Amino acid sequence: MDQIELLEGVLTKTGDVLAGVRVDQSGQPTPCDAYDVEALVNHIVGWIHVFEAASQGRTYDGDASQYQHGEDPASEFRAAAGGVVDGWRAHGLDRMVRLGGGETPGEMVFNMTLMEYLTHGMDLAVATGQPVPYTETEAAETLARAEKTLPPEYRGDNMPFGPAVPIADDAPAVDRLAAFLGRRPRRAGLGLGDEPPSQL
């Protein structure tokens, strides 16, 4: 699968999950201990602006951690996601981009975007009773990129990721991705379970 098409597919499906969130679900828990549904939607929409700026060679001036979405978060997300895809397509991955306070290799930021939106799209789908929409190919390719991108020093107490969770080699790729990122794998519709504190 072409890498731009991979990203475009993941972002499109994440936008669809956002569109399926009901107002009365805003206070429900999610697999991310730090976020209820409303906080996770703000996180998803806020950070897409950061990734859009990076892909376009700009720096995002706001604070994504304080972001508050507008009346139509799905449309807001989709507009910025289109900019993310256009930025990588126009300028390529083989460059340094600004993410936060310094420059980061473009391919790493691209991989982080895939990890962010497939994982949090899955979180939001599970939390709101929607089917997890990502294909086995999308999840497997994102997992392969995560394995190259996530260094051990990002795992542990007060880090963005917990230790990798053991899982069978033949488990679905979306579950293996969740396990690699320090989450206890679960199927959509089986409840949130007792999740380690991973906050991708």
Residue 192 confidence (pLDDT): 34
Percent of the chain at pLDDT > 70 equals 90
pLDDT confidence of residue 186: 53
User: What count of other Cβ atoms lies within 10 Å of the Cβ of residue 171?
Assistant: 13
pLDDT of residue 36: 96
pLDDT at 197: 34
- Indicate the length of the chain as a whole number: 200
The answer on pLDDT for 187 being more than 50 is no
pLDDT (tens digit, 9 = 90+) per residue, 125-181?
Answer: 999 999 999 999 999 999 999 998 887 777 777 766 778 888 999 999 998 998 888
Say whether pTM exceeds 0.75. Answer: yes
Strands (E), 48-145: 96-99, 102-105
Helix (H) or strand (E) holding 157, with range, is none
Given a cut of 70, whether residue 34 has pLDDT beyond it is yes
Q: Each residue of 65-100: pLDDT tens digit? A: 899 999 999 999 999 999 999 999 999 999 999 987
In this prediction, residue 162 carries a pLDDT of: 77
- Residue pair 11/85 in contact (Cβ under 8 Å)? The answer is yes
Give the pLDDT of residue 185: 64
**CA-to-CA distance for 181 and 163, rounded, in angstroms?**
7
Q: Using alpha carbons, select from 2, 7, 17 the residue that is nearest to residue 133.
A: 17
**Which pLDDT score is estimated for 178?**
85
Contact 182, 173 (CB under 8 A): no
Q: What is the mean pLDDT of residues 35-54?
A: 96
Show the domains of the chain with their CATH numbers.
3-139 (1.20.120.450)
Is a pLDDT exceeding 80 seen at residue 33?
Answer: no
Q: What is the pLDDT of residue 163?
A: 81
Average pLDDT of the residues of the chain: 88
| Dist CA 96 CA 29 (whole Å) | 37
Would you state the pLDDT for residue 165? 85
What beta strand segments (E) does 94-139 contain? 96-99, 102-105
